[in-house]
Amino acid sequence: AAGMAAPTMEERKACWGARDEFWQCLDSHGDDAAKCEKLRRAFESRCPQQWVKHFDKRRDFLKYKRKLETEGYHPPEAAGKS
């Protein structure tokens, strides 16, 4: 059951730090994961497996949200009523 205990504050900080570095790398390389492999491994080794899954989903969600904010949400045209 190793790794199932709640991470200490230090461990959480290490995990978040690794995640932030990894995400920054992805941001600066247009999400080219291959260029950030070392940081990805650090992220995975410093964070509980569950967290890695959670953060991956979160990043996808944030990217999607940012895309909506940049490109805007385009609702289907209302049928010519103004």
Average pLDDT over residues 71-80: 72
Q: CA 25, 30, 35: angle at the middle one, nearest 5?
A: 50
Average pLDDT over residues 60-81: 81
Question: What sign for the dihedral angle of Cα 50, 53, 57, 60?
Answer: positive
How much of the chain exceeds pLDDT 70, in percent? Answer: 88
pLDDT in the model for residue 35:
97
Token duo for residue 70: 């940049």
Average pLDDT over residues 1-22: 85
What is the reported pTM?
0.75
pLDDT in the model for residue 79:
63
Helix-helix angle 9-28:49-71, to 10 degrees: 40
